């Protein structure tokens, strides 16, 4: 309802579209004479008499100047009743409300598409006008329909970024981009999903998210049959089938891309540029999505849970990859050898075995690698450089991953748990090896002694005992070993690195497990008990050997003296008495022994600072070994 008939007539023109007042200068039409009068002032610059005190901009009306002041003051007097967002213009609020109502009154006469703003319709109609793109870029030849868009485009070539974030100082070439970026610092997420109530800081992210809930209208690729939930995803996928869409070429490796943005991201691989830095640990990344994923490491958040084993993950992709362990699904197959994998990344790594892609060659030894990063790590083996140092014990490492693994020794962290017995480990590889102890299938059999193994690699190592092969050589003393682990342990003799010290006697050890075992000699702890005679031991291996004494079945017979044994290892040890072989040699004095235990006992003679470890509590006499002390007490103090 209207109070005056003139107001009613003016309103009626909204529905009829009538604009009776036309500008004689440019031909633009208006509904009211007041609107035409205000417009005519734009043709005469002398009418702008009202000046802004802050930036010097001129205005033809005081109302225009008053509206402009709000940009400097930040005043926004008009609030949306639905989402409580504020605006500095009533007209902007009216347009904004159409987002909530879904109203789109402006329709394109050519294609029927609707818009909530007239300005959006005007921009859209230029798509249908032939030859509307008259503004051409002098640098790349791209054409635009208006000068403002061309001006914005020029910034890509000049590198100009006039809009700066007030919080972190990052610069952008669009005002809208800096507004979106600011929401990262404020944490503002104004766009909420009506179904699951999840919030987003960008409308486009909400639109993409909504496709998760839309289970209907599955879109299928006509070329390969792959299904997608959104038309955008399908459109992006179709580019794979058409090579002519990849027009942007990398100058370094020749790889083609469909978008300049994708090429720009790809260039970072060659330049090593990582512009996205973590504020907590200063680690850098190529993409913002990678940085977002990385943040979960610091927060410890693991929102995705496996329904089968209840294990939790920090990324949905990790959960999906984990689920394939339970289903046994391996959808990725190698075209060359037919081997299947449950991850695409594992397949890509595997494919390099068949391809001659090892183009990065080591200048020292001639070894080739498929990636420059792997070659860079390899160089450290020649230079001996160990750039990563432990802050607790000062031990140095070649790789950051090795340092992280080492830190778990000090923290006691064991993140890998056995699902069967609950035992925990600090290495995934150790867990994998451990799980085989629960599986009784030993499929790999030795042809020489019939011993069986759960893993082929263990059988391969075992064969070296029969062949006498010792492929692992110490670079310092040239001593050879048949196991890599034996060489690693041996090297520590030269390094003299024993960081784990006993608080009682001062003896040091290479490993925390050895120190833990040693402590039992002081505490007298014997945690392993024989179920038959209740005798206790401080080592599980000693208990296992003892248990065989209760078993009266002796099936292993010596061919020389006919003596029989309950264990094959005991028979093997016994044979040495006939052959005279002494396989265990002392590294200090080259004396040889039949058993490893005899060698270990002997080595204490050479060890410094250990002459007075074993002391008699009755007479105070000191001994080099517990065995000698035991003999002394039996002969001298047996009657005490």
Residues 388 and 402: beta-carbon distance below 8 Å: yes
Whether residue 338 has pLDDT greater than 70: yes
27: which 2 tokens? 């031909």
| Spatial distance between the Cα atoms of 569 and 597, rounded to a whole number of angstroms | 14
Q: Output Rg (C-alpha) for the chain, integer angstroms.
A: 40
Mean pLDDT for all residues in the chain: 78
- Say yes or no to pLDDT of 155 above 80: yes
Average pLDDT over residues 17-29: 79
pLDDT per residue as tens digits for the range 591-622:
888 887 788 777 767 655 444 467 788 888 87
pLDDT at residue 184 is higher than 80: no
DSSP conformation class of 441: -
Q: Tokens representing 7?
A: 């107001």
Instruction: Give the integer Cα–Cα distance in Å for 529 and 538.
Output: 9
Strand partners, 248: 257
Which parts of 412-455 fold into alpha helices (H)?
428-435
- Supply the pLDDT for residue 129: 67
Q: What is the mean pLDDT of residues 343-368?
A: 77
For the record, the structure tokens of 294 come out as: 């990385």
Q: Which pLDDT value is given to residue 610? A: 47
- Tally Cβ neighbours within 10 Å of residue 613: 19
pLDDT of residue 72: 84
- Give dist(CA 279, CA 170) in Å, integer: 14
Residue 586's pLDDT band (cuts 50, 70, 90) = confident
* Cα 431-433-438 angle, rounded to 5 deg: 90
Q: Note whether 106 and 114 are within 8 A (CB).
A: yes
Q: What is the pLDDT of residues 368-380, one digit of tens each?
A: 877 777 888 888 8
CA distances, 236 to each of 202, 255, 268, 454 (Å): 21, 18, 22, 46
pLDDT in tens, 210-229: 766 665 566 778 877 777 76
What is the predicted pLDDT for the residue at 609?
A: 47
% of the chain with per-residue pLDDT over 90: 0
The gap between the terminal CA atoms of the chain, to the nearest Å, is 120
pLDDT tens-place string over residues 50-83: 888 888 888 877 888 888 888 888 788 888 888 7
- Helix/strand/coil for 508: strand
Q: Which two tokens stand for residue 147?
A: 């000068």
**pLDDT tens digits for range 471-511:** 888 877 788 887 777 787 777 667 656 777 888 888 887 77
What is the pLDDT at residue 611? Answer: 47
Give the separation between CA 640 and CA 631, rounded to whole angstroms. Answer: 14
CB 461 within 8 A of CB 482: yes
pLDDT in tens, 227-276: 776 676 777 777 666 655 667 888 888 888 877 878 888 888 888 788 88
CB-hemisphere CA count at 13 Å for 472? 13
CA–chain centroid gap for 358, Å, is 25
pLDDT at 130: 53
**Sign of torsion over alpha carbons 500, 501, 504, 506:** positive
CA atoms within 13 A on the CB side of 358: 14
């Amino acid at each position: 309802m209207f109070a005056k008939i003139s107001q009613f007539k003016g309103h009626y023109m909204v529905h009829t579209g009538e604009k009776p007042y036309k500008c004689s200068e440019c031909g633009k039409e208006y509904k009211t004479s007041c609107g035409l009068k205000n417009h005519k002032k734009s043709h005469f610059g002398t009418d702008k008499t009202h000046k802004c005190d802050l930036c010097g901009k001129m205005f033809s009306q005081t109302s225009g100047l008053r509206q402009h002041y709000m940009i400097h003051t930040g005043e926004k007097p008009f609030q949306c009743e639905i989402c409580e967002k504020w605006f500095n213009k009533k007209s902007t609020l009216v347009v904004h409300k159409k987002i909530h109502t879904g109203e789109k009154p402006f329709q394109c006469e050519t294609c029927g598409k609707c818009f909530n703003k007239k300005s959006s319709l005007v921009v859209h109609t230029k798509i249908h006008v032939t030859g509307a793109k008259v503004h051409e870029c002098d640098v790349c030849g791209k054409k635009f329909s208006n000068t403002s868009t061309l001006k914005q485009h020029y910034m890509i070539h000049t590198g100009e970024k006039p809009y700066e974030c007030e919080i972190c100082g990052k610069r952008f070439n669009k005002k809208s981009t800096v507004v979106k970026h600011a929401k990262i610092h404020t944490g503002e997420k104004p766009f909420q999903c009506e179904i699951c109530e999840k919030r987003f800081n960008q409308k486009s992210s909400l639109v993409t998210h909504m496709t998760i809930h839309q289970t209907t209208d599955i879109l299928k690729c006509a070329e390969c049959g792959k299904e997608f939930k959104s038309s955008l995803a399908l459109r992006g996928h179709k580019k794979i089938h058409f090579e002519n869409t990849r027009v942007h070429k990398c100058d370094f490796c020749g790889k083609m891309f469909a978008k300049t943005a994708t090429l720009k991201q790809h260039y970072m691989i060659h330049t090593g540029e990582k512009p996205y830095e973590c504020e907590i640990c200063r680690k850098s990344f190529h993409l913002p999505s990678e940085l977002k994923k990385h943040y979960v490491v610091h927060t410890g958040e693991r929102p995705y849970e496996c329904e089968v084993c209840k294990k939790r993950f920090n990324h949905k992709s990790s959960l999906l990859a984990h689920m394939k362990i339970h289903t046994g699904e391996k959808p990725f197959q190698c075209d060359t050898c037919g081997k299947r994998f449950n991850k695409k990344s594992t397949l890509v790594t595997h494919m390099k075995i068949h391809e001659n892609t090892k183009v990065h060659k080591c200048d020292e030894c001639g070894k080739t690698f498929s990636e420059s990063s792997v070659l860079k790590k390899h160089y450290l083996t020649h230079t001996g450089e160990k750039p990563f140092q432990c802050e607790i014990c000062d031990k140095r490492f070649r790789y950051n991953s090795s340092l992280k693994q080492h830190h778990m020794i000090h923290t006691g962290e064991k993140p890998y748990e056995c699902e069967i017995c609950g035992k925990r480990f600090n290495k995934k590889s150790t867990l994998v090896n451990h799980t085989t102890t629960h599986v009784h299938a030993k499929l790999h059999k030795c042809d020489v002694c019939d011993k069986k193994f759960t893993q082929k690699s263990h059988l391969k190592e075992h064969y070296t005992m029969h062949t006498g092969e010792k492929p692992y050589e110490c670079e310092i003393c040239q001593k050879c070993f048949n196991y890599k682990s034996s060489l690693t342990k041996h090297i520590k003799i030269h390094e003299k690195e024993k960081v784990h010290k006993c608080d009682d006697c001062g003896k040091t050890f290479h490993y925390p497990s050895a120190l833990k075992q040693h402590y039992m000699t002081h505490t007298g702890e014997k945690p392993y008990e024989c179920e038959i005679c209740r005798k206790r031991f401080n080592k599980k291996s000693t208990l296992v050997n003892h248990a065989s004494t209760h078993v009266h079945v002796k099936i292993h017979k010596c061919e020389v003296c006919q003596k029989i044994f309950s264990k094959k290892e005991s028979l093997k040890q016994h044979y040495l008495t006939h052959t005279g072989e002494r396989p265990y040699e002392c590294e200090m004095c080259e004396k040889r022994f039949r058993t490893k235990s005899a060698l270990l006992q002997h080595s204490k003679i050479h060890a410094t600072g250990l002459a007075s470890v074993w002391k008699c509590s009755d007479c105070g006499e000191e001994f080099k070994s517990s065995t000698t002390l035991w003999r002394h007490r039996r002969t001298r103090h047996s009657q005490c």
